[in-house]
Amino acid sequence: MADKRELARNLARAGGRGLALVVAGGIAAAAIAAAAIVPWPEFRVEPPSTVVEPAETGQLRVCPGPLLSLGDDAADATTAVSVGSTSVTTGVSPDDVEITETPLGAPENPNADRDGTPLAIATEAGAAGPGELAGAQGQRSERETIAGYAAAACDEAVAEAWLVGGATDVGRSGIVLLSNPSEVAATVDVRVSGENGPVEAPSALGITVPAGEQRALSLAGLAPNLRSPVVHVTSTGGAIAATLEHSVIEGLTPAGVELVGPTAMPATTQSIPGFVVPTAGGVDPTDDHAEGDDHPAVRLFAPGDEPVEVSIGVASESGGGGASIDVSLEPGQVTDVPLGELDEGDYTITLEADAPIVAAARATTGTPEAQTAPGGDDEDASVDLAWTVATAPLLETAVVAVPAGPGPVLHLLNPGDDELEVLAVVDGEERSVRLAPEEAASIELQQRSVVELGGAAGVHATVSFSGERALSSFPVRPPGPLDSPIVVTPR
């Protein structure tokens, strides 16, 4: 009997514990349900961060120096010899800041003492802000081997640059100019791609450019018989200012020269403002075998490993309708796309791609055949060509130097969604330019002038030159990222 009573008590205790567990489970479930319904208090903690201003350094730009010619000496056909001197214009803000000019060594050029060398321009630390030192050069040549006008901006030395332009097939020559303004030697790799893909050129890797000197490399020596080269320059040690000189001879007649500076870094969207077409004409965009330099075209290259679809928009700077061209790019292969029949005028080219690309556009003043036809100028049949490269967005302020040259024009493009008002101070005279979204405008300038831009954040800009048998352009570039403040967030 006692055993039965003890068993009953044990069952009662077990049942009580089970009931307690059920009740506790119910309370917990109710609490969870309530938590899902009732909003929890929010607590947000912003991670600590600080803005780091780089140590103040002097602004530094490098002008590529006089035009060079290959093969003038039959005994040494690979030596690049200067063919005259260039004219350099500089500008800085504030305009009372002193600019120091330092010639770079050009030991490979036997005419350097006579014609001059590349030039480094600089300001003292803190004297000018990022992007507020500018320089540019211009040179006209009327030689048997090189004729035309070429302008170039004095650029920052960088660790990587893309040169889009030139050719090395019959009658075309190219020279890659590598200028090292730093105090340490630079080790440079020059990689070339063409219409058939990358070019094997082991001699172009590990090139030493001594401190304070320029090296000149024959592009044909690295990559012969290319119709559409793209040059990728990278350096370690000292930074490099890279430029490509491109010259053309049709038969025995010189047909133009250009100094091609770096284009914008690879991106899915590219803008080419200020593309000048001095003579109406062109080739159908569907012509896959358009040869020569005498028609407007855009050169495209996709450095990735997959095919890329690109939409090319061509619009007149003065407004009105535009054309659109769709093209597929094979990875690693350079493509020149004719831009169709274009009227004489100034254009904006916009490119939208589904993977990063680099780009530049080519135009000419005409053909030697047209110059020597009945009624042409038989005494001087030279024509000229220009490569207009893709640009990068500017910062709030910028300074533009305009060298001696025919018909200089500053082209401005607002690719954004908001209206912008840019203040341009040209040699002390203020001009206001209002740019609606996706609108372009231009300002006619005088040679050897200096332009200060304000309110230019996001604007793309190009300076063009156009005249009788003369055509050239260069981009207005923002300062490199080393000049800009950075936000540091510790982990």
Percent of the chain with pLDDT strictly greater than 70:
81
Q: Tens digit of pLDDT for each residue in 345-354? A: 999 999 999 9
Q: What is the per-residue pLDDT for 72?
A: 65
pLDDT beyond 50 at 18:
no
Between residues 376 and 93, the one the model is more confident about = 93
Q: How far apart are CA 355 and CA 360, in angstroms?
A: 17
Is the pLDDT assigned to residue 482 strictly greater than 60?
A: no
Residues with Cβ within 8 Å of residue 481, at least 6 apart in sequence: none
Report the pLDDT value the prediction gives residue 359, as an integer from 0 to 100: 98
Dist. CA 84–CA 296, nearest whole Å: 29
How many angstroms separate the CA atoms of 247 and 142, rounded? Answer: 12
Contacts of residue 12, Cβ cutoff 8 Å, sequence gap at least 6: none
pLDDT average, residue stretch 93-101:
94
Q: Find all residues with CB under 8 Å of 482, minimum gap 6, and list them.
A: 54
Q: How confident is the model at residue 56 (pLDDT cuts 50, 70, 90)?
A: low
Q: Are 338 and 272 in contact (CB under 8 A)?
A: no
| Average pLDDT, integer, range 272-299 | 88
pLDDT of residue 491: 57
Of 2 and 393, which is predicted with more confidence?
393
More confident site: 377 or 95: 95
Nearest CA to 475 out of 386, 352, 376 is that of 386
Do residues 410 and 443 touch, judged by C-beta distance below 8 A? yes
Average pLDDT of the residues of the chain: 87
Prior bond to 94 cis, omega within 30? yes
Going by C-beta distance under 8 Å and a sequence separation of 6 or more, which residues neighbour residue 277?
296, 342, 343, 344, 345, 346, 347, 363
Q: What pLDDT is stored for residue 292 in this prediction?
A: 76
Q: What is the pLDDT of residue 74?
A: 53
Q: Select from 485, 402, 417, 413 the least CA-distant residue to 447.
A: 402
Burial, 289: exposed, middle or buried (Cβ in 10 Å; 0-12, 13-18, 19+)? exposed
Task: For residue range 313-328, list pLDDT tens digits in order.
Answer: 999 998 877 789 999 9
pTM: 0.85
Q: What is the mean pLDDT of residues 76-100?
A: 90
